[in-house]
Structure 1
Amino acid sequence: MARRSRWEDVKAGRGEPSSTTRAAVEQDLALGQLIHDLRVQAGLSQRELAERMGTTQSVISRLEEGGGARNRIDTLVGLASGLNRHLVLSFPEEPPSQLRDAVQVV
């Protein structure tokens, strides 16, 4: 009989993530995809964008994979600058019906 790995034991003990956790992960992934799409559209490699931001390629990779930017406005400002874009942070009472080049967090 095959033995389960330690990682499988850890996963089994955690159970299913809450809907809040699942939504946060989906938003992180959507932001990562947007960062990737904007970088590719700008014709930049991860390394080139990292140089513009004064960081490393591995940071850009982590951001594009959906991690590392949560609650880090300074990171998002650096991304916007590196991509020759603007970062707009808004707290409207009602969300706009459509956003272009954006990830809507509700």
Structure 2
Amino acid sequence: MANRSRWEDVKAGRGGPSASTRAVVEQDLALGQLIHDLRVQAGLSQRELAERMGTTQSVISRLEEGGGARNRIDTLARVASGLNRHLVLSFPAELPSRLHDAVQVA
């Protein structure tokens, strides 16, 4: 029990992630959820999407879990292609209030 107590003290002393770190994680999770939802909507398993992308099921799993590392545009383009979708990047002067089938990151 003493070790657990010390570990809890260490964790408590570290503090939580910053607001900007939390925002990045939330965006990654939202993108992962979107990929998952679109894959399921397309009636594909992770393995089937992976085959269409020329990758492995574990890569799809990682993407759907939020990536862990920032998702690269070329990877997202391959996901879109595998789902028979289009990837659209935009730098509008003003953001629309709601983006359909999208994750707003800015």
TM-score if structure 2 supplies the norm length? 0.89
Alignment of 1:55-70 (within 5 A): 55-68=55-68, 70=70
Q: What percentage of aligned pairs have identical amino acids? A: 88
Question: For residues 30 and 89 of structure 1, do their structure 2 counterparts lie closer, same or farther at Cα, with a shift above 3 Å needed?
Answer: same
Paired with 1:9 and 1:81, the residues of 2 have a C-alpha distance of 48
Alignment of 1:34-53 (within 5 A): 34-53=34-53
Instruction: Answer with 62-71 or 96-105: which moved more.
Output: 62-71
Q: 1:50, 1:59 within 8 Å by CA — same for their partners in 2?
A: yes
Paired with 2:79 and 2:7, the residues of 1 have a C-alpha distance of 34
Which consecutive residues of structure 2, in runs of 5 or more, have no partner in the other structure?
Answer: none
TM-score if structure 1 supplies the norm length? 0.89
Q: 1:53, 1:82 within 8 Å by CA — same for their partners in 2?
A: yes
> 2:3 is paired with a residue of what secondary structure?
coil
Which amino acid in the other structure matches residue 37 of structure 1? D
1:66 is displaced (CA, Å) by 0.5
Paired with 2:57 and 2:9, the residues of 1 have a C-alpha distance of 33
Corresponding residue for residue 20 of structure 1: 20
CA RMSD, aligned part only? 2.1
Corresponding residue for residue 76 of structure 1: 76
Q: Per-residue displacement from partner, 1:16-69 (whole Å, max 9, x unpaired)?
A: 100000000000000000000000000000000000000000000000000156
1:6 is displaced (CA, Å) by 9.5
Instruction: Answer with 49-58 or 61-70: which moved more.
Output: 61-70
Question: For residues 68 and 54 of structure 1, do their structure 2 counterparts lie closer, same or farther at Cα, with a shift above 3 Å needed?
Answer: farther
User: How many residues in Structure 1 have an aligned counterpart in Structure 2?
Assistant: 106
Paired with 2:33 and 2:75, the residues of 1 have a C-alpha distance of 16
Corresponding residue for residue 98 of structure 1: 98
